[in-house]
Structure 1
Amino acid sequence: MKKLIYLSLLLIVFSSCEKILDKEPTDQVSLEDLFADVPGTKTALAGSYKALFNSEHYQLNTMVYPDLVAGNIKYSKTTNVVLTDIFNAIQNATESSMNGTYSGLYGELNNINNIIKYAPAAAGSATEKNKIIAEAKCLRALVHFDLLRIFSKAYNVSPDNNQLGVVINLKPQLFSDTAPVRSTIQQSYQTIITDLTEAIAAFDNTDVGVLNGTNKQNFFTKTSAQALLAKVYLYANQWDNAYNLADAVIKTGKYFLLSNANYVGNWALKTPSSESIFEIALETNFAANGLGAYYDITNTTYRQYAATNDLMGLYSATDVRRSASMFNSIAINNVTYFFTKKYASGGTAQTPVKLLRLSELYLIRAEAAAEKSSPDLTQANADLNVIRLRADPSATALNITAKADLVDAILLERRKELAFEGNLLYDLNRRKKDITRVDGDSQNKNLAATDYRLVMPLPINTITANRSLIQNPGY
């Protein structure tokens, strides 16, 4: 009997060309039919890209969680709010707001693993199949990376990194399979690195993917895979590798930093900017109340994630990212709140979610330059100043000679530049920094770097959570 996989969330039907997010799902299809040829395999790949846009993933949870916990976000209201247990550092493994993210991301992995397993036998071009598998491995690495950052401690917490990381799923999981077990942090990172390394080797040097009708930033290419691997290496304290890959991406000349004058306005556009390396595409006429709705000052139902005073105080009066430029303000019950313009609108005005930008690659190269085996503080200062002075041409260029102080300045710039992009908590965790939340009304404002609540608990029944993706795998 044919094994059935359900397409209610992911399957894209092809017309004259394949777009990542542009078609309505069909009902159901068998594995044998879906992966019989390259067009069907492309359908599955398009579905896996679309899954990234679920609310459990980049449409809400994984973009908001790191900024909410670490002090960039506070609530502008007290009722009908999302992720309050996270904000208050209250952990309940049975009812955690991140439980859906755990099961949802493993569902995504199961779908991706189907692609990697069945694509080689599909009828069609070997070149296209190689690209499909390479892109699928990048997606698998990305999803594992997200799971690892949320549900395990940071790299190098223990000297040998033998603490438990996450379950690494490298094949489709069935009910009859032995329950998966967690890998160590070291093993988890190595698996992510292996997937990305193999994908990079398989890609050609073009930015032409297998899914037609899409921008190069909407799917993985050799360059965007290198950018993601540079970030993974940064998190794994492999400084030389992080430096070399970030340097390679910057020097490709394929991406350019936006000018100061164009910085704010480009966040309102649906098309990728010159500095966007990888972002999640939107369906045509996307109308749901997604990520942007939570920052939309006109949406009184969803609007809730305001910037903290702590964050707003970091920007100078001439910084293009300051409150007067990069934020919409509104008075609510006689209190003025500021909402980022990075995702300023919901509904049909919603904009794509940006996951990798060139500005972050400069900051990765800066941090890695300071930490690599032969530290280069001159390069680190130069890269830091590129981002600082782009945002604030009136600022004085820095020349910090103490490595610890320079790293702190880079971390500060990461907070200012990457706010609301899902990074702050992870930066603090990997650098073993305490969290001090001076704004908002969280029940637990200050969290030490060693606080167990900085890692989300696994769902209380991890076997059920891991196998629930088989019951409703997402296709």
Structure 2
Amino acid sequence: MKLKYYIITSALVLSLFGCKKELEKLPQQDLSDQLVFNSPATALGALRGVYSTAQTFDFYGSLPQVMGDYMGNNVDFVGTFPTLQELNTFSSVSTNSNVQTMWQVHYQVITRANTIIAKINDVQGLSAGEKSQYTGEAKFLRALAYFQLANFFAQPYQVSSGTNLAVPLVLDYFDGTIKYPSRNTLNQVHAQIVQDLNDAAGALPPSYTDAAETRGRATKGAAYALLSRLYLYREEWAKAESAARSTLAQGIYDTAPNYAFYSGNTTEDVFTIQNSAIDNGRTGSGGWASYYNPAALAGRGDAPFSQDLINAYNTEPTDKRFALKISGTAADGLPHFFTSKFPDAVNNSDNSPVIRTTEVYLNLAEALARQNTTPNAEAVTILNTRLRNRAGLLPKAVATQQALIDALLIERRKELAFEGHSRMDLLRNRQPLRTGNAAAAFGAPKTILPIPQREIDNNPGLQGQQNQGY
């Protein structure tokens, strides 16, 4: 059974820093909080409302992940959306409407999570354990929101060791007092994410009685898994290793024997946004399948394989992951290859993969490889038994530390393609998003997004803090 979501929450503003006229609608919001947090049932509904917001198109309903792909080298953008064309050509402007809405929805998640954290202890009838768990779930979702915001709106840690500006940290419940926060540094945002995830790991259960909730609701393993990703991005290899091991130690995660696990809520899923034909993040612009499927399969055909990705697979053309591709006519009227990971462009029922067990093993293997000057035996085993064997490939012999790292990064690219990872994997490895394009070079201004102009215009704290190049 799918995890059902209900939007019962008081944080109804479209953006944390939206126009003052909207923010002044306070009495009704305060009354809503009083009603929402007066019983265990409505409090649980408020928490599920945060999950519902995270399900939406502009959070993990595909748009940010597709935007990352359009900026990277795994897909060729052949669609017609001008705002997405801007991202693809690194010519975006601060009034880009997709960027603006993405910012707003991420702060909706944050604002609603803050409300849960502030109000849940006041609910009569909830046990201390339930209050702690609900707080942990809200902190996990807040951490996920800040992680994604930082990845898009700040240069990666490797540019200036995290001293550069990221996004404003807003951690307090919105009580009607309008504040104008400035941007925090990437290190400050990452530190808050670490704190939230450690708090969540201490409060969350390893699993739930319902299988879909175990895969689609925050768990102890999911908190550790997201920590492993963050530490990998920060090159804190020992911490990344420890967090990945803590995930796997929960005993409910394993790599799948084949590639039929998508939307299956299996041991391959650590945290996956749950969708169904009647409950998903689709909007008029579509979802995952709409972008990644050809017109014959009801998709837009906007995001076929890039030639660069095809070349990567063709180094070992028997790779089963490449065999899963489908052919069809793209938005440019030409035949292309497409991924088959998201087949339902009619109902958009495909789940949104956030963290998979395979990624956790990749995080662990890379962390091990980076810490050892000679090829780490456990990392080599993960490379060959967890990844290459499933892909139908022969074991790979690696003679040096760098050869092992390179082999793991290639497997990571081929394994996680079209799931929202490739842009940050390139940037954290100091690589260009696309070769032969100066605008796509590591550290180039428009490899990250602009702070939306609407936010700067309405928030004095953000004035003078626009990203370079916008």
Shorter-chain TM range is: 0.7 to 0.9
Displacement after TM superposition at 1:58 (Å) = 1.5
Distance 2:140 2:50 in 1: 11
Distance 2:335 2:46 in 1: 46
Secondary structure (helix, strand or coil) at the match of 1:435 reads: coil
Amino acid in structure 2 at the alignment position of 1:58: Y
Distance 1:108 1:464 in 2: 22
Distance 1:295 1:42 in 2: 34
CA gap of 1:97–1:396, structure 2 versus 1, over 3 A, is: same
Distance 1:26 1:189 in 2: 27
TM-score between both structures, scaled by the size of structure 2 = 0.84
Amino acid in structure 2 at the alignment position of 1:21: K
Displacement after TM superposition at 1:119 (Å) = 0.3
Displacement after TM superposition at 1:350 (Å) = 2.4
Displacement after TM superposition at 1:80 (Å) = 4.9
1:127 paired residue number: 129
Distance 2:130 2:231 in 1: 28
Contact 2:231/2:237 (8 A) holds in 1: yes
2:317 paired residue number: 317
Percent identical pairs in the alignment equals 28
2:289 to 292, 305, 314: 292
1:272 matches 2:265: yes
Secondary structure (helix, strand or coil) at the match of 2:326 reads: strand
The C-alpha deviation readout for 1:34-55, integer Å capped at 9, x for no partner, is 0112221111111111111212
Range with bigger deviation, 136-145 or 280-289: 280-289
Displacement after TM superposition at 1:301 (Å) = 6.3
The C-alpha deviation readout for 1:212-270, integer Å capped at 9, x for no partner, is 784301101111111111111111221101101212323433112111xx31x333xx4
Displacement after TM superposition at 1:100 (Å) = 1.1
Contact 2:53/2:109 (8 A) holds in 1: yes
Listed as ranges, the gaps of 5+ residues in structure 2 are 11-27, 461-470
Contact 1:329/1:338 (8 A) holds in 2: yes
1:155 to 140, 157, 160: 157
Distance 1:38 1:26 in 2: 14
Distance 2:304 2:135 in 1: 40
TM-score between both structures, scaled by the size of structure 1 = 0.83
Distance 1:76 1:379 in 2: 41
The C-alpha deviation readout for 1:14-65, integer Å capped at 9, x for no partner, is xxxx974356879987101101122211111111111112121111222112
Distance 1:213 1:274 in 2: 10
Displacement after TM superposition at 1:429 (Å) = 1.0
CA gap of 1:117–1:71, structure 2 versus 1, over 3 A, is: same
Amino acid in structure 2 at the alignment position of 1:45: L
Distance 1:248 1:117 in 2: 28
Distance 2:292 2:442 in 1: 29
Range with bigger deviation, 286-295 or 22-31: 22-31
CA gap of 1:299–1:397, structure 2 versus 1, over 3 A, is: closer
1:372 matches 2:374: no
2:19 paired residue number: none
1:84 paired residue number: 85
CA gap of 1:312–1:189, structure 2 versus 1, over 3 A, is: same
Q: Which structure shows the bigger proportion of residues in helix conformation?
A: 2
1:381 matches 2:386: no
The two structures, once aligned, show a CA RMSD in angstroms of 2.7
Contact 1:167/1:183 (8 A) holds in 2: yes
Displacement after TM superposition at 1:72 (Å) = 0.7
The C-alpha deviation readout for 1:61-101, integer Å capped at 9, x for no partner, is 22112222111111345x35761111111120122531211
Distance 2:211 2:418 in 1: 29
Amino acid in structure 1 at the alignment position of 2:378: Q
2:423 paired residue number: 425
2:15 paired residue number: none
Distance 1:234 1:22 in 2: 32
Contact 1:60/1:290 (8 A) holds in 2: yes
Secondary structure (helix, strand or coil) at the match of 1:98 reads: helix
1:245 paired residue number: 243
1:4 paired residue number: none
2:49 to 42, 47, 54: 47
Displacement after TM superposition at 1:146 (Å) = 0.4
Contact 2:325/2:339 (8 A) holds in 1: yes
Amino acid in structure 2 at the alignment position of 1:352: N
Distance 1:25 1:84 in 2: 36
Distance 1:218 1:114 in 2: 21
Displacement after TM superposition at 1:271 (Å) = 3.0
Distance 1:213 1:387 in 2: 24
1:208 matches 2:208: yes
Secondary structure (helix, strand or coil) at the match of 1:277 reads: strand
Distance 2:353 2:217 in 1: 12
Q: Which structure shows the bigger proportion of residues in strand conformation?
A: 1
Amino acid in structure 2 at the alignment position of 1:363: L
Aligned residues: 432
Distance 1:166 1:428 in 2: 21
2:353 paired residue number: 354
CA gap of 1:163–1:193, structure 2 versus 1, over 3 A, is: same
1:459 matches 2:442: no
Distance 2:333 2:103 in 1: 39
Distance 1:354 1:327 in 2: 18
Contact 1:70/1:425 (8 A) holds in 2: yes
1:306 matches 2:304: yes
Displacement after TM superposition at 1:338 (Å) = 1.2
Q: How does 1:41-190 map to 2 (within 5 A)?
A: 41-77=43-79, 79-80=80-81, 83-95=84-96, 97-124=98-125, 125-159=127-161, 161-173=162-174, 176-190=177-191
1:398 paired residue number: 397
